[in-house]
Structure 1
Amino acid sequence: MRQRTGRVNRVWLGLIGLLLLLAAIAGGVVAAGRLQSVGAGIGVELPAVDGSDPVLGGVDPVAQLQAPLWAAIGVAAALILAGLGLVWAIAQVPRKNEATTYRFEAGPEHGVTRCDPAVICAAVERDARAIDGVSAVSAVLRGSRSAPELTMKVTAADRADLAAVLGSLQSEVAGNLATALDAPLARLGVQLDLDRTPHSASRVVL
């Protein structure tokens, strides 16, 4: 029940795809010999280049890379790419992102009540385990007290009425939590697993 980085990965893939698309468009413009006309259209003077011209225009790449300026640019680019790669790799680590301590304020004359979300999660788990067919529950609270997000991992018997279990989780368990927090749930997520543990041969089910 940890939050993963699907959104971050989609953003990165989108940026990489956009850069590759722009590079492909630029290559097509150069290959078609339209670079100079495109530059004239945007008010920039560009050389006339077509697909038959050498890619580097006779420039010695080794001599250019040995220049101090290009060496510094290469090192800076490598450091930037390494930093971005490290940030991306760290972002892949799944996190719980659990909620911090909730504050309940009835008014200045009543003071402030603080509650650890772990206490609320324990009550939610106890409430969910009371549902017929549910054998194990773990819950995580995220978000603020005014916009709480509840995620539950529920294990139910393979012969349980799953529709009834999900209905009870939404109407009773989530409803009780919203009442206790005095705020509607911003999000409810349920991971439902089936308990396929073989029954004992001595157990008779009528």
Structure 2
Amino acid sequence: MKKSTTLIFLFTFLLLGISVFSQDKNKFNNVDGVLAKIIPNNKLDFWVLAHNSYGKNKEVKISGTKKDYVPQFSGFSLRPGEDSFYYIVYSVGGKINYLTDINELKGFIGKVDNVEEAALSAVLDGYLIDEQFVDVAANYYTDATNYYLDLGKITSKECPYQKTHFTLTVNKATGVVSNIKDNGTYIEVYTKNCKNNPRLLKIEKKEEPKDEPKKQPIKKRR
């Protein structure tokens, strides 16, 4: 009986250990790395992922035998506030095409094949792979059935500017988001122009020093 109980305990402990280990979070180190993991929905002759940052063009990924193409001067942005954009060049049946509109990215990806494509699908729905806050808004873990994505979202552009982080549960087989957990605000920024800035309100409410009562002049006896 004692031996049986010990075996049950060890088995339970092992299962718990596997469960904890399976939830170790991996990081999306940068947007370039996520985009480079795209598996195009259609069979292509070649495709190139290019990143233009502050006027400088860089080829992030080349798949297949690249042919000459025309560098683009516009594209889709995945880094809000940064002067940069991405575009994709691809060839089907010898004809070169350019993907510069983010709305076209969904069709290019097609079925969700990996966790990076799951994250990009979420980005197309308004979420953010936040490279500045990787621990809270750019990481994931998986199990046999789902991807669990920790991503950010700009929830207010007014005063204050806010970002909130969420955990999205995405089914591996269908790519469907089955659950969204709100983890709260992780950044809140007030500018000098924010009338509701708590610091400014505190200064306004601070009591001004009271003036000392004026001394009455002493009347001299005649």
Fold equivalence (TM over 0.5): no
Q: TM-score, normalised by structure 1?
A: 0.28
Q: TM-score, normalised by structure 2?
A: 0.26
Which protein is bigger by CA-based radius of gyration? 1
Higher helix share: 1
